[in-house]
């Protein structure tokens, strides 16, 4: 299994404030990687580098290299629009498009990504995506309802379906459960397990139990530095770095 992402000495700044310090990380194909750490440690900033969401953020700059299948994502060969089709993203707050139905929310990426799809093709992909996001049975009779009329947990699964519809290779999830109740959280975790093996998934999370349950490997961030990254079994039972141990045992953070 090769690496999807290889990250070399990634540093990032908001203005003068350095928020990422020489991060080195490899992310294996079709694995689930959790990124955890206390608030403000640079987790979200880090995964937003992976699909170049910072391009629009005034005052952000970065150094180092991020290779996707061996190609630097900032090279001229890679258009950020195409990069984001390969590297999808799910956000912290469920953010279905207002004024669009459940169906349109999932279909819109296909309709606006420049390729032409027949109507039947789009309907098929919308259904498959909703099935994969474990939402189909709950919404199949209400596809014309506004996406925002669903519950918070359903909205988040709708956003996952929306991201899956454009068939990305990688799915970035920025604390996808932090706005959800425990039942919805359990569903999303189950979903992540189902999707692993087919997609490369990077999840930012505050929740250590969650990281332990869902991930193959865990990265621990502290003050913009990657302290330690290892198999999730190892990091929770026998971490190499004292700071990781202190965080896991609840002594800070």
Q: Which CB, 113 or 151, lies closer to other proteins?
A: 113
Tell me: does residue 40 bind other proteins (CB under 8 A).
no
Tell me: does residue 251 bind other proteins (CB under 8 A).
no
Cα distance between residue 233 and residue 98, in whole Å: 41
Tell me: does residue 173 bind other proteins (CB under 8 A).
no
The residue ranges of DSSP E strands in 144-242, in sequence order, are 170-174, 200-205, 217-222, 225-231
Cα distance between residue 42 and residue 60, in whole Å: 13
Tell me: does residue 95 bind other proteins (CB under 8 A).
yes
Tell me: does residue 242 bind other proteins (CB under 8 A).
no
Cα distance between residue 120 and residue 231, in whole Å: 43
User: From the CB of 107, what's the least distance to other proteins, in Å?
Assistant: 11
User: From the CB of 121, what's the least distance to other proteins, in Å?
Assistant: 17
Q: Binding-site residue total for other proteins (CB under 8 A)?
A: 30
Site string for other proteins, 107-136 (x = CB under 8 A): -xx--xxx----------------------
Q: Which CB, 109 or 153, lies closer to other proteins?
A: 109
Q: Which CB, 24 or 144, lies closer to other proteins?
A: 144
Triad 103, 167, 212: Cα angle to 5°: 100
Tell me: does residue 181 bind other proteins (CB under 8 A).
no
Tell me: does residue 42 bind other proteins (CB under 8 A).
no
User: Helix 152-165 to helix 182-195 angle, to the nearest 10 degrees?
Assistant: 20
Segment lying near other proteins (by CB under 8 A), choices 29-37, 50-58, 118-126, 215-223: 50-58
CB 42 within 8 A of CB 243: no
**3-state helix, strand and coil shares in percent for the chain, rounded to the nearest 5:** 40, 30, 30
> By C-alpha distance, which of 23, 20, 153 is closest to 90?
153
User: From the CB of 79, what's the least distance to other proteins, in Å?
Assistant: 9
| DSSP conformational letter for 73 | T
Instruction: By CB under 8 A, name the binding residues for other proteins.
Output: 51, 53, 56, 58, 81-86, 88-89, 91, 93, 95-100, 108-109, 112-114, 144, 159, 162-163, 166
């Amino acid at each position: 299994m090769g690496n999807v992402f290889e990250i070399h000495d990634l540093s990032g700044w908001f203005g003068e404030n350095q928020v990422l310090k020489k991060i080195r990380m490899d992310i294996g194909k079709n694995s689930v990687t959790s990124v955890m750490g206390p608030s403000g440690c640079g987790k979200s900033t880090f995964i937003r580098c992976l699909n170049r969401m910072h391009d629009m953020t005034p005052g952000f700059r970065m150094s180092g290299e991020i290779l996707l299948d061996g190609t630097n994502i900032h090279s001229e060969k890679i258009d950020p629009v195409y990069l984001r089709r390969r590297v999808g993203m799910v956000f912290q707050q469920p953010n279905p498009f207002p004024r669009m139905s459940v169906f349109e929310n999932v279909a819109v990426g296909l309709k606006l990504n420049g390729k032409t799809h027949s109507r039947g093709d789009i309907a098929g992909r919308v259904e498959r995506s909703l099935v994969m996001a474990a939402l189909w049975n709950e919404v199949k009779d209400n596809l014309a309802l506004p996406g925002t009329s669903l519950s918070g947990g359903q909205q988040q699964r709708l956003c996952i379906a929306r991201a899956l519809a454009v068939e990305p290779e990688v799915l970035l999830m920025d604390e996808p459960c932090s706005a959800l109740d425990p039942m919805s959280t359990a569903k999303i975790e189950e979903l992540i397990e189902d999707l692993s093996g087919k997609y490369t998934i990077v999840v930012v999370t505050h929740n250590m139990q969650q990281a332990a349950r869902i991930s193959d490997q865990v990265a621990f961030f502290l003050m913009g530095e990657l302290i330690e990254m290892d198999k999730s079994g190892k990091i929770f039972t026998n971490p190499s770095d004292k700071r990781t141990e202190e965080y896991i045992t609840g002594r800070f953070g």
